[in-house]
Structure 1
Amino acid sequence: MKAGNNMKIAGKTMYVFVLLTITMVMRLAGNTSSGLVMTVGDSSVLTCPLKGNMTMLTWKIMPKAGGPCTLVYRVDTNVTHRTTCSDNINWTFRAGLPPALEIRQVGTAQEGNYSCEAATTEGNFVTRYHLTVLAPPRLSLSCDEQGSPVCEAAAGKPPAQLSWVPEGSSTAEEKCHDNGTVTVLSKFTACSTSVTNVTTCMVSHPAGNWSQTIACCPSEKTNTNIFLYACIITCVLIIITLLAVIYYFSLHSDRPCHKTKPPEIAPVHSQQDDTMEVEPYTTYVQKENVIYNSVSDLTVGQNLPQDQCPGT
C-alpha cells in the first residue's frame, strides 16, 4: 500500500514539474495567451508585446464563423498586406508603438482566436487572444390572450436566464439562430385568474441584468370560451345519457308484443239475397198446396155418391 501511494505522489510531482517547465519555456520564447471578452458593438485594440527592433509583424485570425484572416506588416518596405479580413478589422499605427490590431464595432462573427507573431532582433514573440463576444438580449414583456405574462429575451449570447417575481410556475423554451444567438421565451402561470396579476421579469446575462414589470388582467374571451366549452360538454353528456337509457330499455324489455286481432266483419246481405232465400220456401209451399188440393179433391171425390162423378 505504501509503495503504491509513493508511486502516485512521484507521478503527480513529475506532472507538476513538466507543467512548470513548459510554462518557463513559453515565457522565455515570448509566448503569452489571454482571454478577451467584448460586447456586440464595442471597439477594442489588440497589442503585440515584443523586445528589440521589429522586422515583421503578422496577425492570424481564426474566427468561429467564416474563413481565416491574415494581416502582415514589413518594416523594411513599410508595406501592409491582408487577406479575407472583414472591414471592421484593420491595422492601427501609433507613434512610438508597434502596429496594433483594431476591431471596430465587434460582432458575433469576429469571435475566435487571434494570434500575433512578431519577428525582432532579439527573437520571435507570439501573443494569443481568445475573443469572446457577448450579445445582450432584447427584453420584451407582454400579456397573451389568456392574460398570462410572457417574457422574451431575444437574440442573446449566451442564452439569458429568466426568473419571475413573485415566484411561480413558468414554462421556458429556447430558439437558436444561425448567428449563434439564442432567444429565450418564458410564460408565467398566474396563481389566480380573477384578479389583476402584477409580475416582474428578471433577466440575468453576462452582459448585464435587466427587469420589467407588467400587470395582466384575466381575458374575458378566455372566460367566454370556458363557458362555451362547458355547455358543449354538458349537451354531449345529456345526449349520451339519453341514448344509453334508450338502449338499456330496448335490451331489458321482456313483454312480448301482442298483435290485436282485427274485428270480424259480419257478412252483408243484400235484399236480393233475402229474396233468393225466400223463393225456394215459397215454391215449396206452393207445391205443398198443390198436393194438398189434389188430395182434398180426391177425398171429396171418394165421399160422393157413386152415380155422381166429380167434375160433371
Structure 2
Amino acid sequence: MKARADMEIAGKAVCVFMLLTIIKLRRTEGNNRVSADLGHNTVMICPNTTSISMVTWKISTKTGGLCTLAYRFDQKKTDRTNCSDRMNWRSRPDWDRALKIQQVGMADEGNYTCEVVNADGNFHFHYHLTVLASPRTNLYCDDHGNPVCEAETVQPAAEISWVPESNSTPRADNHDNGTVTVLSRFAASSTNGKNPTCIVSHATLNETKSIACSPAHRNLILNIAIILGFLIIITFVAVIYYFKLHGYRFCHKTKPPDIIPTYSSQDDTVEVEPYTTYVQKENVIYNSVSDLTMRQNLPQGQSPAT
C-alpha cells in the first residue's frame, strides 16, 4: 500500500510539473533579439490573441527607467507612463498592437515586453533591442608614409582588413560615450605595385577604400625642391625688377661720349710766355746795339742821353 501511495504522489508531482511547464511555455511565447539601425524606424509586433481585455508594452532601456504603454479594450482608453514621444502605437491599438519607435537612438537599447491579458490569462512576448550604428571610417597616411585605417562605431566593433594582407594587428579603443574606435596601420613587405585597400566590415556597413602613400623621405625631398625652385624664381624676378627700376637695359651697346677738349688760362699763359721772353730778349739786344752805335757817333767827351 505504501509503495502504491508513493507512486501516486510521484505521478501527481510529474503531472503538476508538466502542467506548469506547458503553462509557462504558453504564456511566454516569444523571446526574440532584434536590431535596428541608428536613426531609422523600427517596429515590434505583439501577436494576436482572442478576447483581449488589455494590452501593455513594458519597456526597460539600459539608460532610462520603466516605460509603459497600455490600452484597455473595455474602456477604450490609452495610458502611457514615462515614455518618449518617439514610442507609440503603430496604428489604432484596438486592432493593431504593434509598437513603433521613430528615429531609434542609442538610449533605446534594452528589453521590450508585450503583455496581453484575456480570459485564458496573461501572455508575454519579449524582445531585446540592439541599436546598430554605421561606423565612421577614415583612411589617411601617417608621418612615416604608412596607410592608416580607422573605424569608429558603437558595439559591436567594426572589423578592418587589408588588400594586400597586412602584418599589423588592429587596435581597439573604448570611449566613455559607448563608442569604440578600431585602428589598423598597414604593414607589408610589398604591395606589388598596387595601392593598399582598407576593407571595413560591420553589421550595418561594408566599405572599401584605397589610398597611395609616399615614403616620408620622398615627400621631404619633394617639398625641399619645390621651396628652392620657388625661391629661385622670386630672386630672378627681384633682380630683373631692380635693374628695370634703375634704368638698366640688357643687351644694348652704348656709344662712348664725345670728348670735348678743354682750355684754361694757364695753358694760354704757358703758350704766351716763350714768345714774350723772346721779344724781351730781342729788345734788349736791340737796345744794346743802339746804344753802342750812338756812342760811336757822339763827339768825344759826351755821353748819350738816357
Quick check: TM above 0.5?
A: yes
1:211 aligned residue: 208
2:80 aligned residue: 82
Long gaps (5+) in structure 2: 1-14, 222-306
Q: 1:95 to 1:89 in 2, by over 3 A?
A: closer
Q: How far apart, in 1, do the equivalents of 2:20 and 2:213 lie?
A: 61
AA paired with 1:188?
F
The answer to whether the Cα contact below 8 Å between 2:115 and 2:124 also exists between their aligned partners in 1 is yes
Match 1:101 to one of 89, 99, 102: 99
Match 1:199 to one of 183, 196, 199: 196
Map of 1:57-72 to 2, 5 A cutoff?
57-72=55-70
Residues 155-213 of structure 1, C-alpha deviation per residue, up to 9 Å, x if partnerless? 242111111111122243222233432111111125369x9761011112122322111
Q: How far apart, in 2, do the equivalents of 1:18 and 1:198 lie?
A: 70
Offset at residue 19 of structure 1 (A): 10
2:108 aligned residue: 110
Offset at residue 18 of structure 1 (A): 11
Map of 1:2-151 to 2, 5 A cutoff?
24-29=22-27, 31-94=29-92, 97-151=95-149
Q: 1:185 to 1:115 in 2, by over 3 A?
A: same
Q: How far apart, in 1, do the equivalents of 2:106 and 2:17 lie?
A: 34
Q: How far apart, in 2, do the equivalents of 1:75 and 1:132 lie?
A: 31
Q: Equivalent residue of 1:25, what SS?
A: helix
The answer to whether the Cα contact below 8 Å between 1:190 and 1:197 also exists between their aligned partners in 2 is no
Q: How far apart, in 1, do the equivalents of 2:18 and 2:75 lie?
A: 40
1:187 aligned residue: 185
Q: How far apart, in 1, do the equivalents of 2:44 and 2:128 lie?
A: 11
Q: How far apart, in 1, do the equivalents of 2:58 and 2:142 lie?
A: 49
AA paired with 1:209?
N
Aligned residues: 207
Offset at residue 100 of structure 1 (A): 1.9
Q: 1:102 to 1:201 in 2, by over 3 A?
A: same
Q: How far apart, in 2, do the equivalents of 1:20 and 1:141 lie?
A: 60
The answer to whether the Cα contact below 8 Å between 2:73 and 2:94 also exists between their aligned partners in 1 is no
AA paired with 2:197?
T
The answer to whether the Cα contact below 8 Å between 2:132 and 2:204 also exists between their aligned partners in 1 is yes
Match 2:165 to one of 160, 164, 167: 167
Moved over 6 A (4+): 17-22, 221-224
Q: What do you get for the CA RMSD once the two structures are aligned?
A: 3.0
Map of 1:271-310 to 2, 5 A cutoff?
none
Residues 61-102 of structure 1, C-alpha deviation per residue, up to 9 Å, x if partnerless? 111222221112222332222222223211222487232211
Q: 1:196 to 1:217 in 2, by over 3 A?
A: farther
Q: 1:40 to 1:219 in 2, by over 3 A?
A: same
The answer to whether the Cα contact below 8 Å between 2:165 and 2:188 also exists between their aligned partners in 1 is no
Offset at residue 22 of structure 1 (A): 6.7
Q: Equivalent residue of 2:212, what SS?
A: strand
AA paired with 1:211?
T
Q: 1:190 to 1:145 in 2, by over 3 A?
A: farther
Q: Equivalent residue of 1:215, what SS?
A: coil
Q: Equivalent residue of 1:216, what SS?
A: coil
Identity value in percent: 46
